[in-house]
Structure 1
Amino acid sequence: MTNLPPTLAALRTRQCGLFTRRQAVDAGCTEREVKTRTGARGDWATVRRGVYTLRTTWDHGTPRTRYVMRVHAAVLAARTPVLPSHASAAALLGMPLRPRWTELVHVTRPGVGGGRVEGGVSHHVAAYDERDVTLVGDVPVLGLARTAADIGRELSLEDAVIAADAALRLGSTREELWAATERMWSWAGITTVRAALEIADGGAENPGESLLRLAALEADIGPVETQFHLTDGHRNAYTDLRAGRLLMEFDGEVKYLGRDAGGVADRPAHEVVIEEKKREDWCRSQDGGYGMFRAVWSEVLGRRRSDTARRVRAAYVQAERLYGG
């Protein structure tokens, strides 16, 4: 029962591997067959009521790809035209996702104010125009600048900085970000977005780097540079951040995990640690010497970031004393 009618197979190709009950029936499946195939032992998985994919596709999906399927399913099931927005647009646009962003699917339809949450979908009613819309494949979604602003308005400064950094890294311009914000000049939460845009930097390669930079800025140690280049004429390296004589690195665990565990390491963890220590020693020795500060996820989130900011400032003062301004 794994074969699909040709018409349905073509729909899956266009619709992120999804198809609706109506499309299945129109393609020649009986209601009984749909019920059987979506049952506990069937080969179709229900993504949301009336929207399906092959069970193997769902079972082998990552948390992100499953969330993307949930987004497409919500659009397919909507009774009126809607656009993926907020974190759901971010997922389709390739922006990084924090776990709490994906608790709901977000869609927006044009209108003024209001909204509701129903069946795991947050329905937003808000104005937008053609400047806010882009295509991902053949699916219209709210674009990078508008999405960064929406996330910032709905959530916290942390989220706003992560989203703005990602929008810049993926190709949005500062002008586009500010223009999207100005179109929302009186909307709730827009002050948070403006604060994030003042410090946004597309050099941050992941949310951890964005949050470590936020801690460094909160430490009030002067300009913070992203992707600082070091070279001795033969070897090159980039550190996540630099302020004065202090280098800063964010340590996400993906650096040390193998690919089979969702990381990026292509060798045992102890070898990665040794190589990282050698790299740090080399970076610290360049240009007359630098201090080094490292942080992990738990140190850059929420209230812990204030403690990290104090430690960053202390490390900065010590580096300046040891190696000069």
Structure 2
Amino acid sequence: MLEERARRAIRRFGLVTARAAHEAGLDQRDIRLLVASGAWVAIRRGVYVDEATWAAADEWRGRPRLRARAVHLSLAHPHVFSHDSAAAELDLPLMPDAHAWVHVTRTGITGSRRRRGVAQHGAPFDGHRVSAATGLPVLSAARTALDIGREHGYAAGLAACDGALRLGVPREELAATAASMRRWPGIRGALAAAEDADPGAENAGESLARILVRSLGAGQPRTQFPVRLEDGSTAWLDLLVGCHAFEFDGQIKVRSPADGGVAVRGAEKALWDEKKRERLIRPLGLGISRIVWIDTTSGFDAARRRLVTEYRQTLAVHGDRLPPALEEYAARMAPHRARRLRAK
């Protein structure tokens, strides 16, 4: 039966190559029938995935990873996955538009070339900077974060470097990797990102929000700052400058994991909890500003003007020195904060 032969053809990563299909007894007409019926999805010339695997994969990580695996099965030259494709494998933060190309790095070529959905980069890499833990050869998190900074600029690089530290990459490794790339094209923004990296950013939005808050000129924001609420719980503030908190509100917080988010409860419940949390934070002597994604991108200038006004209002009411009780609680919670950062 066609269905049985189709199941036998499935190989690594849930994918099917044309060669494997032929070995399982399928001819080109069978393959066309499977694709036309929707049982298989063609994700690259000569590479297919069964419909159930494709449907279960999300647009943010799952499908880009399947496309990378398809390239791995079809690319004849020795290669390692790098840049955005390595970041997807390593769970490093990425910008929303970062999945247009599958990125590989190769030795023996110069510059970069893009063809048929694959960006090939010519650059050296040490063997110890390559991992196959995910089933694919990928460059290390430190190297990947810096490559993203070189490819996409400071903001994307900062998000990736923040994520690398949060994954447990030692800051010394990030610095040493950056130093080894000091003469490479596009390295200036990547170097700055490595120097400014902070594991307190839980996602790319919080990294970009930190850039926005720093632009206010009010001081360096403190990340993941703990405050004890009236109900006995601890709230971890995204960013804090003086007595003013800045909270990033991204769809990731109300979107389910299946849709690329982190919410384990419904969107309505998540929004209600955020409102309740804010009501408990304000009586502690803190002002709060909300930041959304557009504030960190096309709405940067307008958001900056609004945040300056809101910060100055807090400054007029509460001053710029945090109440001693809040500082003392943060000091007691320092070990918990360290464990919290390592756990993400």
Q: Distance in 1 between matches of 2:152 and 2:159?
A: 11
What does residue range 139-150 of structure 1 map to in structure 2 within 5 Å? 139-150=136-147
Does 2:307 align with 1:308? no
In 2, are the aligned partners of 1:259 and 1:266 still within 8 Å (CA)? no
CA shift digits 1:211-244 (9 cap, x unpaired): 1111111212112111110015822111111111
In 2, are the aligned partners of 1:244 and 1:316 still within 8 Å (CA)? no
In 2, are the aligned partners of 1:145 and 1:167 still within 8 Å (CA)? yes
Q: Distance in 2 between matches of 1:86 and 1:130?
A: 17
In 1, are the aligned partners of 2:102 and 2:117 still within 8 Å (CA)? yes
Does 2:247 align with 1:252? no
- Equivalent position of 1:275 in the other structure: 273
CA shift in 2, pair 1:128/1:62, >3 Å: same
Identify the match of residue 168 of structure 2 among 166, 171, 183.
Answer: 171
Identify the match of residue 180 of structure 1 among 171, 177, 196.
Answer: 177
- Equivalent position of 2:70 in the other structure: 73
Identify the match of residue 321 of structure 1 among 316, 324, 328.
Answer: 316
Deviation at 1:259, TM superposition (A): 7.0
Identify the match of residue 207 of structure 1 among 185, 204, 211.
Answer: 204
Q: More displaced, 159-168 or 126-135?
A: 126-135
What does residue range 21-40 of structure 1 map to in structure 2 within 5 Å? 21-38=18-35, 40=36
Q: Distance in 2 between matches of 1:284 and 1:300?
A: 24
Does 2:49 align with 1:50? no
Deviation at 1:16, TM superposition (A): 1.8
Give the TM-score taking structure 2 as reference length. Answer: 0.85
Identify the match of residue 226 of structure 1 among 205, 223, 227.
Answer: 223
Letter in 2 for 1:205: E
Letter in 2 for 1:246: H
Deviation at 1:177, TM superposition (A): 1.3
Q: How many residues align?
A: 316
Does 2:74 align with 1:61? no
Give the TM-score taking structure 1 as reference length. Answer: 0.89
CA shift digits 1:175-229 (9 cap, x unpaired): 1111221121111111101111221111101111111111111212112111110
Q: Distance in 2 between matches of 1:111 and 1:182?
A: 22
Unaligned runs of 5+ in 1: none
Letter in 1 for 2:146: A
Deviation at 1:27, TM superposition (A): 3.2
Secondary structure, aligned partner of 2:165? helix
- Equivalent position of 2:98 in the other structure: 101
In 1, are the aligned partners of 2:107 and 2:123 still within 8 Å (CA)? yes
- Equivalent position of 2:333 in the other structure: none
In 1, are the aligned partners of 2:229 and 2:281 still within 8 Å (CA)? no
CA shift in 2, pair 1:33/1:194, >3 Å: same
Deviation at 1:276, TM superposition (A): 1.8
Secondary structure, aligned partner of 1:203? coil
Deviation at 1:93, TM superposition (A): 0.8
Q: Distance in 2 between matches of 1:191 and 1:51?
A: 38
Letter in 2 for 1:318: Q
- Equivalent position of 2:4 in the other structure: 3
Q: Distance in 2 between matches of 1:261 and 1:134?
A: 27
CA shift digits 1:121-163 (9 cap, x unpaired): 1111111112321223332101111111111001122111111
CA shift in 2, pair 1:260/1:94, >3 Å: closer
CA shift in 2, pair 1:42/1:214, >3 Å: closer
Q: Distance in 1 between matches of 2:293 and 2:175?
A: 29
CA shift digits 1:47-87 (9 cap, x unpaired): 10011111232234211211111011111111211111100
Q: Distance in 1 between matches of 2:259 and 2:145?
A: 30
Deviation at 1:267, TM superposition (A): 3.7
Q: Distance in 1 between matches of 2:112 and 2:257?
A: 41
CA shift digits 1:249-306 (9 cap, x unpaired): 001124345678765262462x5433322211211222xx01101111111114x223
Letter in 2 for 1:199: D
Q: Identity, % of aligned pairs?
A: 38
CA shift in 2, pair 1:122/1:207, >3 Å: same
Q: Distance in 1 between matches of 2:67 and 2:259?
A: 24
Secondary structure, aligned partner of 1:103? coil
In 2, are the aligned partners of 1:68 and 1:91 still within 8 Å (CA)? yes
Q: What is the RMSD computed on CA atoms of the aligned residues?
A: 2.2
- Equivalent position of 1:266 in the other structure: 265
In 1, are the aligned partners of 2:106 and 2:123 still within 8 Å (CA)? yes
